[in-house]
Amino acid sequence: GLPIARLVLATNENNVLDEFFRTGVYRPRTTAETLVTSSPSMDISKASNFERFVFDLVGRDPAIVQQMWREVEAGGCFSLADGPFAARLPAYGFVSGCSNHADRLATIRDVWQRHGLMIDTHTADGVKVARERRVAGISMIVLETAQAVKFTETIREALGRDPARPAGFDGIEDLPQRVEVVDATVDPVKEIIVRHCRKCRE
């Protein structure tokens, strides 16, 4: 019942999802094609959990989804641009766009100059695309995703100054780091979760 007109999806240069919502083609990237950017949480070669959305899109038919992902896992892609599901895609209300490093710098700078708010690189991608997709008379909400202090180098490049550090981050570099290497199997991971949850309760 929430009155949302459209969902605006922003990506960085790794625009797998932007490509899908513009063209109907889902084409994961190889490792070599995946770029390292200044908004690193978006540096993906494929979209995690995307098959859940596609499952709804194809009428919740698991056989269709399995066939599509067989094509993807074989190094290919799939297209919903011309098939029977193409007409369903607009009904979900997604629009998309992408941003690059120069866009991020310009957006961080503009938001700081206009509003005195220092935003992180991922939020800058969101603001840049949101501005492009605004519709007159409809409010636009952009979800902030991280602290600007995590991206000091890019903030310095955009604004010529370091971001202010929240009090909770003071001395964080000096705190002990804990690493435990385990086999990538279910039981050791479960054991760590149980052990740490038990410590929290104590």
What is the pTM (predicted TM-score) of this model?
0.84
| Tens-place pLDDT, residues 63-108 | 999 999 999 999 999 999 988 899 999 999 999 999 999 999 999 9
Please state, for a pLDDT cut of 70, what percent of the chain lies above it: 100
Helix (H/G/I), strand (E/B), else coil: 15: coil
Confidence band of 37 (pLDDT split at 50, 70, 90): very high
Spatial distance between the Cα atoms of 44 and 55, rounded to a whole number of angstroms: 21
Which amino acid is located at 188 in the chain? P
Give the H or E element holding residue 106. Answer: helix 101-115
> What's the DSSP call for residue 35?
P
Closest by alpha carbon to 129, among 148, 107, 105, 112?
107
| Tens-place pLDDT, residues 110-138 | 999 999 999 999 999 999 999 999 999 99
